[in-house]
Amino acid sequence: HLSKRLETVSEHVERGSRLADIGSDHAYLPIYLAKNKIIPYGVVGEVAKGPLSNAVSEIKKEKLLSVLQPRLADGLAAIEPGDNITAITIAGMGGNLITHILESGKEKLKGNEKLILQPNVGEPIVRKWLMVNGYQIKAEQILVDDSHTYEIITAIKASQKMAYSPNELMFGSLLLKEKSPVFKAKWREEIGQRQRVIANMQKASHTDIQKIQRIKVEIKTINEVIK
């Protein structure tokens, strides 16, 4: 049984995709996709031995070793040319780590892979990387699972470089258009966090005026977006 978070990620993997799931841990996502015959082939990449052996035993238990290839590798190094990967999932990590994995594995990207990314935090960094590297964001989703809010960002290589505005990078161009109740709740929460940061700074007579000012501008921006 998949979490709502991973189930939602799985919905972005098109039938017939040759998948690389990077940082797979127990391999729950690729196992689900293989069991449901959505993917005919998957690479299960893990940088750490413990999680990889979890993945191997789960894959064996499900008798899916002919479909799923577990590999001990750092990031996109798990991908080999013969894999002909058409979709890459990277889920459940910070945006910094996801961006680092993409950046340091760039030479593995042929440009025909759909990227399906689920950062736990730091979504703007991921969007910025996608923009700078010539990707177009095709779908974005925001959901609550187990009282956490998660965003899913999918992208493909664009024929023309996209120019996302600072607000589009911060909030997500598509989420910004939609402004769903979950989106608004997330950003109301983000305002509360920023207000607490300012209050604490003032209590500690930490008078980094510029920083306080910067946070106040962010609060104003968020308020304008969700009003």
Q: Which residues lie near ligand SAM (CB under 6 A)?
A: 6, 22-25, 45-48, 51, 74-75, 91-93, 97, 101
Shortest distance, position 9 Cβ to ligand SAM, whole Å: 7
Give whichever of 102 and 222 is closer to ligand SAM, judged by the CB atom. Answer: 102
∠ CA 52-8-115, rounded to 5°: 65
Q: How far is the CB of 219 from ligand SAM (least distance, A)?
A: 30
Please say which residue, 100 or 128, places its beta carbon nearer to ligand SAM: 100
For ligand SAM, the closer CB: 52 or 170: 52
Tell the smallest beta-carbon distance from residue 224 to ligand SAM (Å): 33
Q: Which residue has the tokens 């990889």?
A: 52
CB 83 within 8 A of CB 112: no
Q: Name the strands in the sheet holding 87-93, side by side, starting at the edge strand that comes first in the sequence.
A: 68-72, 41-46, 18-22, 87-93, 114-119, 148-157, 135-145
CA separation for the pair 155, 115 (Å, rounded): 5
Nearer to ligand SAM, 70 or 92 (CB): 92
Positive or negative, the CA dihedral 209, 214, 219, 223 is positive
C-alpha to C-alpha distance for 225 and 154, rounded to whole angstroms:
22
Pick 83 or 218: Cβ nearer ligand SAM: 83
